[in-house]
C-alpha cells in the first residue's frame, strides 16, 4: 500500500509540474471524490482528473465500481447474464441470427466437446481432424468462461500429408500435440475454437500480432438503441490479444466520424501516443474502416440479446466489414475514462425511466 501511495504521489507531482492542477488541489479533490463518490486515487489518475480544464462537476458525475454494477444489474436482467458470459452460447446466438461474427469450429472439452460439423471434439486427434478438414490456417482458442484475454492463445496450422502441424504464430516455434492438450485442459469449461480473424490492413499495420478490436458501449434507453462511447484497443508487439488489461492502448473514437481523437496507455501516467510505440504507425487521426457498419452491427447485436439494455460490444473489422467478437454486459467501469465522458452523462437516457 505504501509503495502504491508513493506511486500516486509521484504521478500527481509530475502532472502538477507539467501544467496540471497543483498537488494540493489534486489531493483535495481526491479526498472529496473518495468520501462522497467512492472513487479512489487510481481512478482519479486514470481519468486524468488533474487536467485544469476539466470542471469538477464533471468529475463528480463519474461512478464507482459498486454503483456501476448496481446500475448494470438493474437494466440488464442477471437471469440472462450467462448467455453473454459463456463464449459458446453467445457465439451460437450471433451465428443463429446471422449477425456477422467470427467463424466457429466448435467447443473442445474432454467430455462435452462438440464440433460444428456435428461430431465429438474431446481429443486432440479429433481436433486435428476438424482443423485439417477446414484446410488448416490460423485458429484462436478462448476459454469458454473467462475475460480480459486470460488463457487465450492462437496457433497456425499446416496440413502435411496425413498430419496437421501446429506452430506459435509469433515465434514460429512448433507446438506438439501433447503441449496443445495440456493447454486445452487448463480451462475447466473447455475452449471455444474459432478461425483467426483476418483484420483490415489499416488496423493490422498498427500491431500485426494482435487482432485490434473496437469496444463500443451500446445502450437501449428512452432514445432507442444507440452508441454512447467507443475506443479502439491496440495490442503491443508480441501479444496476440489487444486487451487493455494486457498492456494495450486505448484509442478514443469520435462517434460521428469514426476517427481516433487520442491514444493513451494504461499506466497511471496515461501517456498520450500520436503513433504506436512499437510499429510507429499513426494513431491519432486514423479513420476506423467501415465505421458506420460497425455502429449498426453493434446496435443490432444488443437488440437481439435477451434481457439486456447495455453491453460493451467487441467488434473486429475485416477487409469485408465488421464482425461481433463478443458481448460484455458487465463492461469495465473504467471504460468511461477512455471516452472521457462520465457515467452520469453516458447513461442519462435512463434517468427518466
What is the rounded CA–CA span in Å between residue 257 and residue 42? 31
Q: Specify if 11 maps to a domain.
A: yes
Judged by DSSP in three states, 27 sits in helix
What is the rounded CA–CA span in Å between residue 72 and residue 49? 24
Q: What is the pLDDT of residue 55?
A: 97
Q: Specify if 74 maps to a domain.
A: no
Q: Are residues 343 and 239 in the same domain?
A: yes
Q: Are residues 226 and 336 in the same domain?
A: yes
Q: Are residues 173 and 209 in the same domain?
A: no
Q: Specify if 72 maps to a domain.
A: no
Q: What is the pLDDT of residue 307?
A: 95
Choosing from 150, 174, 195, the residue where a domain stops is 195
Choosing from 195, 214, 236, the residue where a domain stops is 195
Q: Are residues 6 and 44 in the same domain?
A: yes
What is the rounded CA–CA span in Å between residue 283 and residue 144? 32
Q: Are residues 140 and 208 in the same domain?
A: no
Q: Are residues 44 and 130 in the same domain?
A: no
Tell me if the pTM is above 0.95. no
Q: Are residues 94 and 109 in the same domain?
A: no
Q: Specify if 216 maps to a domain.
A: yes
Residue 110's nearest CA partner among 96, 98, 97, 126 is 126
Helices 124-133 and 177-184: crossing angle, nearest 10°? 100
- CATH number where 338 lies: 3.30.470.20
Judged by DSSP in three states, 124 sits in helix
Q: What is the pLDDT of residue 311?
A: 97
Domain that holds residue 43: 2-60
Q: Are residues 178 and 224 in the same domain?
A: no
Spatial contact of 163 and 76, defined as CB atoms under 8 Å apart = no
Q: Specify if 66 maps to a domain.
A: no
Total domains, the chain: 3
Spatial contact of 297 and 63, defined as CB atoms under 8 Å apart = no
Q: Are residues 180 and 208 in the same domain?
A: no
Return per-residue pLDDT of the chain as tens, 353 residues. 788 889 999 999 999 999 999 999 999 999 999 999 999 999 999 999 999 999 999 999 999 999 999 999 999 999 999 898 899 999 999 999 999 998 899 999 999 999 998 899 999 999 999 999 888 899 999 999 877 678 889 899 998 888 889 999 888 899 998 999 999 998 899 999 999 999 999 999 999 888 899 999 999 999 999 999 999 999 988 766 555 555 689 999 999 999 999 999 999 999 999 999 999 999 999 999 999 999 999 999 999 999 999 999 999 999 999 999 999 999 999 999 999 999 999 999 997 44
Q: Specify if 71 maps to a domain.
A: no
Largest CA-CA distance found in the chain, in angstroms, rounded: 70
Element containing residue 218 per DSSP (H, E): strand 214-221
Q: Specify if 141 maps to a domain.
A: yes
Helices (H), 200-278: 201-204
Q: Are residues 54 and 140 in the same domain?
A: no
Residues in a beta bridge with 137 = 157
What is the rounded CA–CA span in Å between residue 243 and residue 150? 10
Q: Specify if 68 maps to a domain.
A: no
Q: Are residues 263 and 312 in the same domain?
A: yes
Residue 101's nearest CA partner among 289, 320, 331, 316 is 316
Residue 217's nearest CA partner among 150, 97, 301 is 301
Helices (H), 205-312: 291-303
Q: What is the pLDDT of residue 243?
A: 55
Taking residue 183's Cβ as centre, other Cβ atoms within 10 Å add up to 14
- 345: which DSSP letter? H
Distances (CA, A) of 266 to 42, 73, 274: 11, 27, 15
Q: Are residues 205 and 335 in the same domain?
A: yes
Choosing from 195, 210, 228, the residue where a domain stops is 195
Amino acid at each position: 500500500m505504501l509503495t502504491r501511495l508513493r506511486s500516486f504521489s509521484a504521478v500527481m507531482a509530475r502532472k502538477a509540474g507539467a501544467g496540471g492542477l497543483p498537488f494540493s488541489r489534486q489531493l483535495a479533490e481526491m479526498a472529496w471524490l473518495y468520501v462522497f463518490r467512492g472513487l479512489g486515487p487510481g481512478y482519479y489518475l486514470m481519468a486524468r482528473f488533474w487536467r485544469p480544464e476539466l470542471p469538477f462537476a464533471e468529475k463528480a458525475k463519474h461512478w464507482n465500481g459498486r454503483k456501476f454494477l448496481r446500475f448494470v444489474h438493474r437494466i440488464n436482467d442477471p437471469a440472462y447474464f450467462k448467455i453473454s458470459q459463456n463464449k459458446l452460447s453467445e457465439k451460437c446466438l450471433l451465428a443463429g441470427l446471422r449477425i456477422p461474427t467470427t467463424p466457429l469450429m466448435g467447443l473442445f472439452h474432454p467430455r462435452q466437446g462438440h464440433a460444428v460439423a456435428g461430431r465429438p471434439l474431446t481429443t486432440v486427434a479429433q481436433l486435428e481432424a476438424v482443423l485439417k478438414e477446414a484446410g488448416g490456417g490460423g485458429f484462436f482458442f478462448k476459454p469458454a468462461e473467462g475475460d480480459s484475454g486470460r488463457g487465450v492463445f492462437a496457433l497456425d496450422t499446416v496440413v502435411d500429408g496425413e498430419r496437421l502441424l501446429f506452430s506459435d504464430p509469433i515465434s514460429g516455434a512448433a507446438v506438439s500435440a501433447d503441449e496443445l492438450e495440456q493447454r486445452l485442459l487448463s480451462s475447466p469449461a473447455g475452449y471455444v475454437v474459432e478461425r483467426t480473424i483476418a483484420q483490415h490492413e489499416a488496423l493490422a499495420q498498427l500491431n500485426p500480432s494482435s487482432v485490434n478490436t473496437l469496444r463500443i458501449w451500446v445502450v437501449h434507453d428512452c432514445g432507442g438503441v444507440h452508441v454512447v462511447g467507443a475506443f479502439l484497443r491496440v495490442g503491443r508487439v508480441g501479444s496476440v490479444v489487444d486487451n487493455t488489461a494486457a498492456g494495450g492502448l486505448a484509442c478514443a473514437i469520435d462517434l460521428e466520424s469514426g476517427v481516433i481523437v487520442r491514444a493513451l496507455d494504461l499506466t497511471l501516467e496515461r501517456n498520450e501516443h500520436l503513433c504506436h510505440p512499437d510499429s510507429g504507425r499513426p494513431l491519432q487521426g486514423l479513420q476506423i474502416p467501415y465505421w458506420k457498419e460497425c455502429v449498426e452491427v453493434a446496435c443490432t447485436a444488443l437488440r437481439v440479446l435477451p434481457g439486456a439494455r447495455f453491453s460493451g460490444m467487441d467488434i473486429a473489422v475485416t477487409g469485408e466489414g465488421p464482425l461481433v467478437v463478443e458481448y460484455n454486459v458487465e463492461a469495465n467501469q473504467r471504460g468511461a475514462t477512455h471516452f472521457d465522458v462520465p457515467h452520469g452523462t453516458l447513461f442519462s437516457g435512463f434517468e427518466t425511466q
